[in-house]
Structure 1
Amino acid sequence: MNHRPELLAPAGSWEALVAAVQNGADAVYLGGKLFNARQSAQNFDNHELTRAVEYAHIRGVKIYVTVNILLADEELEEALGFLRFLHNAGVDAVILQDLGLASLAREVIPELSLHASTQMTVHNIPGVRLLQQAGFERIVLARELSLAEITDIKQATGADLEVFIHGALCICYSGQCLMSSLIGGRSGNRGKCAQPCRLQYQLVDEKGRRLADPGRVGEYLLSPRDINTSHLIPQLIEAGVNSFKIEGRMKRPEYVATVVRVYRKIIDRALKNPADFRVTADEARELAQIFNRDFTPGYLLGNPGSDLMSFKRPNNRGIRLGRVKGFNQDNKTVEILLEEPLQVGDGIEVWVSEGGRRGIEVNSILLQNRPVDFAPAGTLVGLTIPGKIKPGDRVFKTHDAALMERARESFASAREIRKIPLQFYVRARLGEPLYLRVTDNQGFTAEGLSSEACQQARNRPLTFAYLKEQLDRLGNTPFALADLQADLAEQVILPVKEINELRRRVLADLAQKRAAAWQPSGPAEHVYQQRVQTALRKIRTHRPAPREPLLAVNVTDITSLQAAVSYGADIVYFGGESYHSKGIITPSDLQQGAEFCRKNGVSLVLNSPRILHDRELPNYLSLLQHVNDLAIDGILAGNLGLLQIIRDYTDKPVIGDFPLNIFNSAGIHFLKEQGVARAVLSPELNIKQLQDLAAVSPLPAEVLVQGALPLMSSRYCPLGSVLGNFATGKTCTRPCRGREYGLKDRLGLIFPLEVDRYCRMHLFNAKDLCVIEDLPLLLDAGIAVLRIEAKKENHAYVARAVNHYRQAINRYRHGIRDQRKDREAKEDLERLSKAGLTKGHYFRGVI
């Protein structure tokens, strides 16, 4: 294969960086102390970042820095300063999520290479094209894509594509998860995800009745396995993927060392001989041993259904060690027939029949009643394990001491594993200093002269063999002697310390040249500051004209649409997305809805799915063509791909929906440049941030004020996987049709669950957002549209909610503030939500 992909490794600490580089990574991604999506990792301060860049570049490895969170307006200037620091430090690219920051970066630091984070949820061809046009040099694709989809994107766009190949999976499309944020205030979009998906849930019906036995199915219904694509590396290379990304900035350096080392061998083997490619048993075992929640190829081979999931445990399961055979009464040990080797220092876990799991570190092993430090596979050993252990209980090795020690040696030792081959040339002449020149495989050269001159040799002159021996003492450097040419025309001698010092100086010079070669050029300080102030002034000086507030409602059935119109909605979103529980919306439903809205003087806007894979786009595009003939007043676009292509199919106004994660005024300006007519702001913004944005927004601003907000959108469906028998090679029985379901957490809260026409799961907050008592704060700020999110609700809910908000808006317009009526409205709306109400992030914001 001519195409050589990059192996990209994670580093959450300095040790992990060294582990990645020494074990064969081509590039490393890491985060600074600010603005990255793994705030819980150790990360790197600015001094360490500079040091990391130098360390990696000397060894021919690239450094990418994650700045992949959403940013508020008050953070933009500091973030730009951080990007400039990174550029000046020589990083090879920054990985961004925020559309506004990316737009500013292209204007202020155009020399900086930008990569689009997977948090941007890029999953179709038009989305990739939009980001290419926006100046991104690489796109990190959503993890929900198949090999066929990746291939199509590569062939259609030619983009530099990055794909995750190993590590933890998010159950939700990255960038579309509000679960941690709305439940606990720890936002994944701000780098603080608390991983509530790894907790226990029960699948329940509309009456809260449990539908699956946790003992049989498991309780971790949102916890996926880890992705492992080792056996698919040739196919990924063939698909044209440019960068193979290992997940794991939260993992320890031993994990990084092991996974990078194994994938380095696998990728090199696939490149050398793809026809005879295989993953060895040892490689598969090491990947499983270092960490696994069970493995899955993810969506690369299609939707695996329940085979994606680790229903019975959300953490490392290790590898199977064997089963308990019995209990030795004489020495009081549990007897285990080993299927894998075991040594003192290993960690094991017994999956006991009663009481969960028992984990210990092995401190002693009895083999044939004698203590040993090591026992091979196939032997019966005795171990001291507390608790109630029974014959037949399974035993897993969760910690392999030898594997960990091997990994640790790769980054804890002063000796370097990764070596750059050098060509050495030496010339020795009587009465002259010794001359040394070294040249690396990239053409960099360094040279030098010894401090002392060569003297006449009386007994032991310099020889080729002796010089090679001295020059090859490179264990603590990143260099290796590949070839030596020596011009030793005369019998001369030079003290060994002179040779060693000359070697040290020349190699230090070469290292500095390799590091300096990556140093970028950029604008002078005064030019940079002028650019920053010009860019920030442009996005902060707009003053929108006063406008009458409008009430919008998002619904997914015709009776709810009619209720919304009848009770006072100004705008209805309808038609482009629907759920199986309510039945799929047809073109005739859309036409009926459009006619009803037109007769009543209400705007109808076609809503859209936040996720549309390329093979789903034709259906939606045909719908767009159809609406040109209807009285449709706009298109609600929830993904970047639709922003790219809507204008090719209709001249209707486009509203940028909240899944686009607009968090700052620069993001609003980006949408305006894309032809968007109105921006729905992120529901993670607090009231002060919304007020500030509305004051400078060049577009009318819309916010969500009522309804169960979507927590996540996932290609995985728990209904199909748990109840519908959906797994690899099996067809779902579609239990979702015509019924309502939810996921019940440990506190008894039920999170409603819907399945759309593409069999994607949408999980909603248990508590309804409600800010009816605080509408004046939003309306005083100039928010143009208040939205009720009611896609999963029935017409009765819609009627009451719209009626209350219509009356509250009318009171505001007439200058009436009636707290009693606001309170009564809230109390009535609370009766519509089984779990009660929340004000979301309006008064608490996100971390």
Structure 2
Amino acid sequence: MGPVEIEEKRGLSMIKPELLAPAGSREALVAAVQNGADAVYLGGRQFNARRGADNFDGAALAQAVEYAHVRGVKVYVTVNILLADTELREAVRFLHTVYNAGADAVIVQDLGLIRLARRVIPELELHASTQMTAHNVPGVLFLKDAGLRRVVLARELALDAVREIKERTGVQVETFVHGALCICYSGQCLMSSMIGGRSGNRGRCAQPCRLEYRLVDDRGVPVADSALVGEYLLSPRDLNLSRHIFELIEAGIDSFKIEGRMRRPEYVATVTRIYRSLIDRAAAGKDSTVSDEEAYELAQIFNRDFTTGYFFDVPGRQMMSCKRPNNRGTRLGRIRRYDRKTRRAQIELEAPLQVGDGIEVWVTRGGRVGAEVNELYVNGRKVESAPAGQVAALKLEGYIHPGDRVFKTHDVKLMEKAVQTFSSSRETRRIPLDFRVRARLGEPLLLEANDREGVTAGAYTKAAGEPAQKRALTAEFLAGQLDRLGNTPFVLGKLECDLDENVMLPVREINDVRRRVVEQIAAGRAGLRKPDPLPVAVIERKLAAVMNDGITEKVTGSSPLLAVAVSSAKAARAAVQSGAGLVYFGGDVYRRRGKITVSEVRRVRQVCREAGTEFYLATPRILHDRELEQYLSYLKTLLEVAPDGVLVAGYGMLPTLRQLTDLPVVTDFPLNVFNRQSAYFLKERGVRRVTLSPELTGEQIKHLAGDAAAATEVIVHGTLPLMVTRYCAVGSLLGGRGDGDGCTAPCRKGSFALLDRKGVVFPVETDSNCLMHIFNSRELCLLETLPYLARAGPAVLRIEARREDDAYVARVTETYRWVLDSIMSKTSNLPDLTTVVQELTARGPGYTRGHYYRGVLE
């Protein structure tokens, strides 16, 4: 699309979006600012989701905000993790530090922190992290009503859905446009946590999605050819929307976000510079087509191959980097000849190569051979560089054969180009200053300046003007002196002069007054958005008051209700007959099981009513707006069976349900209740009971269950979902999903799992909306801890059995009912729980106590 077409299509009202760049270190901050970012996001040394980045301590954070603000760049600070009760006070104090430093907003995930921030520091702007899984209009409105000014949308949204959310909510929306993708909906991943103890919700993800997996059937037999499709089945390509800038701008997206706080500053510099140019060209109606050079640089600086993600369709394996989970580099050519004696390889170059570059050979056997080019030869002559089309020779060691592909993984020229932008004392980002000079004989020279944002400054020279002996002051001379701003972020704009004839002052006086005026301007710009500091005493008083909100007397001794979550009538009947006091029915229903019918719901409702068992409908975790519309008509019919309540697993369902019914609402574990303030936040919005995060320890559970502001529920048994993803490995690898002909739905015909490199099997299910759910290899079993948990005060203990048949449900429910009754009867004849657990879990692949003992706090 050329500039004329763009101009005609966009008219004259296109608003340029913010370009938001990552700053995981001081160098990356400078790189982002100097290459054109409108805003940066960075983290402190704690409370953020990129704990592996360098990050900023208190003093460095204040310096970072000042550096950015002087140059007209906003700063958003990430506090985007779940927080324990023991951390909340310090987290609020950190928010106070952030506010007083002048940061423009804080990016948050934790509901409890949101509650505290709105009450203690209401002046502080809050943005909802992508960790909050905002993916539909009601969910975004829920967050808006909670006081969040901007929402970072889930990466799984189509561009049309983003546009609709923007139009229907009026909230600021931020979307990722470049960088690494999570395969799971952000904020919903327990995989790193459960199998490695490092929680993504705590900023310590170990990236298990980048490891090797094979798709297998229920017998453990591989069903996809790894040699053909690859073995990194959960490793997405990197997002790259550089070719779609105009469409993104037209959709009304407020902020384009570059992922990469763990990336080197050279990466930040390169990607930011290119997107800056593309956005400026598109917004000005110029040709925003990505040039060959820009495309090369984006690929060269880092790529796992590229994808447009879910913006334009729901891709299959075209979105995945199944054969390689790390940087691919750019194609350089093929090995033409290899001499094993001299270890010299000849490469037919398809792109330039020079000394200092890094290359990697994809060898036939043995994976990859990497090397830095130290010496390079063309036609036997030693050279510093070789152009495309030449045959270059260099030393390589490894199992190399003619025909092997060669990739450039490090371009020394590109890196030097990037480094120059953040290592030089001369800034590339320059802010025009307009100067006015008045010079009179016998009076000090007056120098005044102002920027385009209204910051003004002025100062007098220490010496007075004197008659010129050789050369009088002129506008041209003053322009030369005033434009000597090389080590500042400023550049001379307009210059107005009011000069007596034949007046002069020493150059050192002019330079001195220029320096003082520029320092004043810089200080003025640094304070332009800096608020009046909030006193510590005020914050502490408000914090103490709000932390005591809703505290109730400790709840202990009462018998908790035993709940079972199921998805079939037979399983529900088994739960009721085996002693369940509450049945959750439905929710994420898996394709292999088939859709739950209204008549089936009526039958289950009747079984529960006859037995005096509570009956709650469960709703799915992920419902995009189109899916939500379809689901609501179904839900309205289900509500006619008069359930006792509803279990919800996403923010969007909370306001939606309130428009349909006044039934009690319980929130499920995907809402990540990790502290009592989060529980109280939900209680204030009409929630009857909250399910606690499965990442909590027994001690944390006792603290929350005993005196939480809302009634609590704890999952004690079942195979928990570790990931939910819009990418479906079964459909993509076996059903043709993403190939344009639709999916043949192989998920309906069999059971599947992912087999990792250690032989561990993770069951896989797909639901009615074609989302893939990956389950833990071992079932959670907290039976041995039941004496402790039962007396801790939770209102409900739940068995998760939505994947299970009636026999499993009966066996597990009977066991928990028996043990729970024994505990609550306060007899001394408790069964040997270790033996009971072994018998209960003997038929499965083993069990885990989850985070009951180890937790996720470090």
Per the shorter chain, which TM-score range? over 0.9
CA distance in 1, matches of 2:556, 2:699: 20
In structure 2, which of residues 420, 430, 448 is the aligned counterpart of residue 419 of structure 1?
Answer: 430
- The aligned residue for residue 701 of structure 2 is 690
1:89-121 per-position Cα deviation (integer Å, ceiling 9, x unaligned):
100000000011101110010100000000000
In structure 2, C-alpha distance between the alignment counterparts of 1:622 and 1:809, rounded to whole Å:
39
Is the Cα contact below 8 Å between 1:625 and 1:650 reproduced in 2?
no
Separation in 2, partners of 1:170, 1:3: 29
2:532 aligned partner, one-letter code = S
3-state SS of the aligned residue for 2:61? helix
The equivalent of 1:555 in structure 2 is 566
Q: Match for residue 9 of structure 2?
A: none
Distance 2:462 2:564 in 1: 82
- 2:89 is matched with 77
* Higher mean displacement: 370-379 or 11-20: 370-379
Structure 1 position 483 matched with structure 2 position 494: yes
Match of residue 375, structure 1, among 370, 381, 386:
386
1:664 aligns with 2:675: yes
* Partner of residue 35, structure 1: 47
- With over 3 angstroms needed to count, the CA separation of the structure-2 counterparts of 1:817 and 1:144, relative to structure 1, is farther
TM-superposed CA distance for 1:549, in Å, is 1.1
Distance 1:542 1:480, change over 3 A: farther
1:213 corresponds to which residue?
A: 225
Q: Which blocks of at least 5 consecutive residues in structure 2 are unaligned? A: 1-12
1:51: which partner in 2?
63
d(CA) in 2 for partners of 1:675, 1:544: 21
Aligned residue for 1:235? Answer: 247
Determine if contact 1:90/1:518 at 8 Å carries over to the other structure: yes
Q: CA deviation at 1:21?
A: 0.2
For 2:795, the equivalent position in structure 1 comes to 784
Cα distance in structure 1, aligned partners of 2:849 and 2:538: 44
What displacement does 1:620 show? 2.2
Query: Which amino acid in 2 is paired with 1:25?
Result: A
Q: Is the 8 A contact 1:539 1:665 kept in 2?
A: no
Give the Cα separation in 1 of the matches to 2:378 and 2:81.
54
For residue 510 of structure 1, what is the aligned residue in structure 2? 521
Partner AA of 1:844 in structure 2: R
| 1:348 is the counterpart of 2:359 | yes
1:472 touches 1:481 (CA, 8 Å); kept in 2? yes
Q: CA 1:365/1:693 → structure 2, altered by over 3 Å: closer, same or farther?
A: same
Residue aligning to 2:315: 304
CA distance in 2, matches of 1:585, 1:164: 36
Q: 2:293 is matched with which residue: 257, 282, 292?
A: 282
Q: Which amino acid aligns with 1:758?
A: N
Give the one of 795, 799, 813 matched to 1:802: 813
Q: Distance in 1 between matches of 2:433 and 2:353?
A: 42
Residues 797, 832 of structure 1: 8 Å contact kept: no
In structure 1, C-alpha distance between the alignment counterparts of 2:269 and 2:207, rounded to whole Å: 25
Matched, 1:823 2:819: no
Q: 1:391 aligns to what?
A: 402
The question of whether the paired residues in 1 share the 8 Å contact of 2:354 and 2:384 is answered with: yes
Q: Say whether 1:272 aligns with 2:284.
A: yes
SS of residue paired to 2:626: coil
Aligned residues with identical type, % of pairs: 55
Aligned to 2:162: 150
- The farther-off stretch of 148-157 and 695-704 is 695-704
> Does the 8 Å CA contact 1:624/1:649 hold for their aligned counterparts?
no
Q: What amino acid maps onto 2:489 in structure 1?
A: P
Go from structure 1 to structure 2 and tell me whether the alpha carbon gap of 1:319 and 1:817 turns closer, same or farther (over 3 Å shift): farther
Aligned-residue CA RMSD (Å): 1.4
Question: Where do 1:322-341 residues align within 5 Å?
Answer: 322-327=333-338, 333-341=344-352
Superposed CA offset, 1:423-473 (max 9, x none): 111111112111111111111111111111122111122222221111111
| Contact 2:551–2:709 (8 Å) recurs in 1 | no
The alpha carbon displacement at 1:510 in A equals 0.6
Q: Name the counterpart of 2:445.
A: 434
Q: 1:49-88: CA deviations, max 9, x gaps?
A: 0000000000000000000000111111111100011101
Partner of 1:167: 179
Secondary structure at 2:223 match in 1: coil
Distance 1:522 1:735 in 2: 60
Partner of 1:844: 854
CA contact (8 A) 1:544 1:698 kept: no
Within the candidate set 581, 592, 601, 1:590 is matched to 601
The aligned counterpart of 1:460 is: 471
Secondary structure of the equivalent of 1:482? strand
- Give the match's secondary structure for 1:423: strand
When structure 1 is superposed on structure 2, of 584-593 and 156-165 the one drifting more is 584-593
- Cα pair 1:455 1:494 within 8 Å, conserved: yes
Is 1:184 the equivalent of 2:196?
Answer: yes
Q: Give TM-score, length-normalised by structure 2.
A: 0.97
2:466 paired with 1:450: no
Question: 1:171, 1:308 → 2: CA distance?
Answer: 10
Hey, what does 2:31 align to over in structure 1?
19
Instruction: Count how many residue pairs are aligned between Structure 1 and Structure 2.
Output: 845
Mapping 1:613-628, distance limit 5 Å: 613-628=624-639
Deviations 1:733-772 (A, max 9, x none): 1110042111111111101110000000001110111011
Q: Give, in angstroms, the shift of residue 630 of structure 1.
A: 0.7
Question: SS at 1:371's partner residue?
Answer: strand
Against the structure 1 CA distance between its residues 287 and 422, is the aligned structure 2 distance closer, same or farther, given a 3 Å change threshold? Answer: same
Superposition pairs of residues 77-116 of structure 1, within 5 angstroms:
77-116=89-128
Q: What secondary structure does 2:112 align onto?
A: helix
Aligned to 1:639: 650
Are 1:602 and 2:588 counterparts? no
Tell me, yes or no, if structure 1 residue 250 matches structure 2 residue 271.
no
**8 Å contact from structure 1 (residues 323, 395) kept in 2:** yes
Secondary structure (helix, strand or coil) at the match of 1:345 reads coil
Deviations 1:685-706 (A, max 9, x none): 1111111111212322100101
- The answer to which of 83-92 and 485-494 deviates more is 485-494
Amino acid of the residue matched to residue 140 of structure 1?
V
Q: SS at 2:267's partner residue?
A: helix
SS of the residue 2:29 aligns to: helix
Q: Distance in 2 between the 1:301 and 1:788 partners?
A: 39
Q: Note the 1:663-812 alignment, pairs <5 A.
A: 663-812=674-823
Q: What one-letter code is carried by the residue in structure 1 that aligns with 2:814?
A: N
Aligned amino acid, residue 246 of structure 1: I
1:728 Cα deviation (Å)?
A: 4.7
Work out the CA distance in 1 between the residues paired with 2:709 and 2:538.
27
Structure 1 residues 627 and 85: alpha-carbon distance in aligned structure 2, compared to 1, 3 A threshold: same
Cα distance in 2 for partners of 1:540, 1:361 equals: 62
Q: Which amino acid aligns with 1:846?
A: V
Measured after TM superposition, the shift of residue 544 of structure 1 is 4.3
* 3-state SS of 2:216 partner: strand
d(CA) in 1 for partners of 2:717, 2:343: 63
Q: Is 1:533 the counterpart of 2:544 in the alignment?
A: yes
1: CA distance, partners of 2:604 / 2:171:
40
8 Å CA contact 2:100–2:534 kept in 1: the answer is no
2:362 counterpart letter in structure 1: W
- Alpha-carbon distance, 1:501 to partner: 1.1
Q: Is the 2:347–2:391 Cα contact (8 Å) retained in structure 1?
A: yes
Q: Whole-Å Cα distance in 2 between the matches of residues 281 and 588 of structure 1?
A: 60
In 1, Cα distance between equivalents of 2:186 and 2:29 = 24
Taking the aligned partners of 2:340 and 2:176, their CA distance within structure 1 comes to 50
- 1:816 Cα deviation from its structure 2 partner: 2.7
Write the letter of the residue equivalent to 1:216.
L
**SS of residue matched to 1:403:** helix
Q: Which residue of 1 aligns with 2:6?
A: none
Alpha-carbon deviation of 1:390? Answer: 1.4
**Separation (CA, whole Å) in 2 of partners of 1:741 and 1:773:** 31
| Partner SS, residue 382 of structure 1 | strand
Structure 1 length as normaliser, TM-score? 0.98
C-alpha distance in structure 1 between counterparts of 2:252 and 2:360, whole Å:
41
Contact 1:711–1:763 (Cα < 8 Å) also in 2: yes
- What is the match of residue 223 of structure 1? 235
Q: CA deviation at 1:619?
A: 2.6
